[in-house]
Structure 1
Amino acid sequence: MNQPIQIAGVDVWLEGEGPHTVVMLHGWPDSPALWDSAVDSLKDRYRCVRFHLPGYQLCKPSQPLSVRDTTELISTIVDTVSPMDPVTLLLHDWGCLFGYEFAARHAHRVARVVGVDIGDTGSDAYLKSLGPRQKLMIASYQLWLATAWRLGPWAPALANRMTRFMARSIGCRNDAERVVWQMNYPYAMQWLGALGGLRSVLPVERLLGVHMPTLYLYGRRKPFMFHSTGWVEQLARAPGCAVHALETGHWVMGHKPAEFNNIVRSWLDQANSKAGAAP
């Protein structure tokens, strides 16, 4: 990664050239390095922009933000790196939630969305699609991480051990030193109402594929999905949209980078070629 620029006190990395800008948001417990392979695949034609989620840059004091404030931070960065043209969002995990919310609130600034492994998790259809065992599994790991976040200020060593244990348990292979309890605040938002909670988040299913071209990729090799079957089927039928299931776990771009990058690049090239041909 090259030297970052500073926008609103945030380190922002820009790589690549071209008329189209792709803004990449990672999730838990990752960093902008999650997108290294994707940037290499896209930077010959696209300007790739990435930055840490609030509170995720370990060399700086942790300052998690509410959903609203995170959305406004994304808006400031997008307006700075692409003041005239809407951008493409490339999103994973909690980056999906924050990115989808930005797209819902600032639709004129987003040309299209690539969402990875997180779909309509806030919908009634998704909740109804989960069986009791799946609901228990989701609640167990998320409450564990939310609890670690709550314990962090008083018992940071214990909170870090809890966080790293869960990261290993669910298949994350990041270096343990790069996984810390401060990253767990989105789970505390979900379960404890921290930082204003998630009650105000807008419904994804009313945006993606309905008002915004969307590519959705997900891994099949998981004990549960993060989307409802009906939403995926509807998205696959929507004009300008596509759905791809890969034989991976949650970290699709890391498990099968070549396949992932080929799908993303092909979809973006096709979408931008059509946009360029429009009168």
Structure 2
Amino acid sequence: METIIGKDGMELHLEGHGDQTLVMIHGWPDNYRLWDAQVSAFKTHYRCARFSLPGFERGQQSQLLNMEQMMQALDTAINLASPKAPVTLLLHDWGCFYGYQYAMRHLERVSRIIAVDVGDSGSKDHKLTTGAKLMAASYQLYLALCWKLGRFLGNPMTRFIAKAMGAPAPRGDIHSGMNFPYYWLWKGLLTKQRLGIKPVVIDHPMLFIYGSNKPFNFHSQAWIDKLNSTDSSAARSLETGHWVMVEQAEAFNQMVLEWLDAKRSDKVA
């Protein structure tokens, strides 16, 4: 594995060979190691680039980053991974949230998107029951509080809920600093700040894979229907929870490779 360090100190990890670059962006409460099984499967034919979101690595200083700062972090990583050619984004959780925002702002830098378990969450089409809304708000506000409390109280509280939710990350890697997106989002919503969030409208070819074994979905049926009615896109489900790529890594990897290979064949044809 080759590691490139950017000017801002970001570490980009590169493995594999190929004329196409996959940039992998994780979410909560993970780091770049979330994608280990995917890199092993993809690196024979694709150049795999991954990094930890700012503040997510153990030992990093906790910081509250806004949308502009996160977009700059993603732009730095993607330019390090592939300075000239557009990349394929492989996204999960908050990685989806930030990855969509980046793709809409930098159309020319993204060729395709593979998104895992988070779609048009929060859109007018994404309708949740009252119970699901309360569940989502409860855990997100809890994690926002954990960020505010800091490491002494926030770390054990964050690890407790991560275990309860089935997060696969090693317990020692999980810390309260990872919760800043929840604090940023809810503080902005409650104080009516302008957060700079664009409504999600993705025109790139997309493969969306989601887990069907969850209390509620982070996407609408309209999102699924639109993808499945678009020639260059598709939506697929696996019987997993939120961490699809870990719980059924082999099936997930096969789905992704088949889609990527089909897109590669289309390009050649």
Asked if Structure 1 and Structure 2 have the same fold, meaning a TM-score greater than 0.5 normalized by the shorter chain, the answer is yes
Contact 1:189 1:198 (C-alpha < 8 Å) held by counterparts: no
Aligned residue for 1:193, secondary structure, equals: helix
Pick aligned residue for 1:163 from 158, 161, 165: 158
Question: What is the root-mean-square deviation in Å for CA atoms of aligned residues?
Answer: 1.6
> Alpha-carbon deviation of 1:197?
6.8
TM-score, normalised to structure 1, is 0.91
1:81 CA drift (Å): 2.2
Deviation at 1:173, TM superposition (A): 3.4
User: What pairs up with 1:186-201 in 2 under 5 angstroms?
Assistant: 186-193=181-188, 199-201=195-197
| 1:265 aligned counterpart, secondary structure | helix
Written as runs of structure 1 = structure 2, the 5 A alignment for 1:91-102 is 91-102=91-102
Deviation of 1:214 (Å)? 0.4
- Selected match of 2:216 from 209, 224, 237: 224
User: 1:247 Cα deviation (Å)?
Assistant: 0.2
SS of the residue aligned with 2:204? coil
TM-score under structure 2 length normalisation: 0.95
**Which residue of the partner structure matches residue 239 of structure 1?**
231
Shift of 1:266: 0.8
User: Any idea what SS the aligned residue of 2:144 has?
Assistant: helix
Counterpart in the other structure of 1:258: 250
User: Is the Cα contact below 8 Å between 2:58 and 2:174 reproduced in 1?
Assistant: no
Give yes or no for contact 1:67–1:198 (8 Å, CA) kept in 2: no
1:90 corresponds to? 90
Q: Aligned residue for 2:267?
A: 275
Asked whether 1:215 is paired with 2:207, we answer yes
3-state DSSP of counterpart to 1:28: coil
The 1-side partners of 2:170 and 2:40 are apart by: 22
Q: State the shift of 1:114 in Å.
A: 0.3
Where does 1:23-172 land on structure 2 (aligned, <5 Å)? 23-126=23-126, 129-152=127-150, 156-172=151-167
* Alignment partners' CA distance in 2, 1:94 and 1:175: 18
Deviation per CA, 1:132-180, whole angstroms, max 9, x where unpaired?
A: 000010011111000111111xxx3211121111101111132221110
Q: Which residue of 2 aligns with 1:174?
A: 169
Question: What corresponds to 2:3 in structure 1?
Answer: 4
Distance (whole Å) between structure 2 residues aligned to residue 247 and residue 106 of structure 1? 33
On the 8 A contact 1:220/1:249 being kept in 2, the answer is yes
- The alignment partner of 2:142 has SS state of helix
Task: Give the Cα–Cα distance (whole angstroms) in 2 for the partners of residues 166 and 198 of structure 1.
Answer: 29
Question: Which ranges in structure 1 are unaligned for 5 or more consecutive residues?
Answer: none
Structure 1 runs (4+) deviating above 6 angstroms are none
List per-residue Cα deviations over 1:69-95 (Å, max 9, x = no partner): 111221122223212211000000001
Contact 1:88 1:111 in 2 (8 A): yes
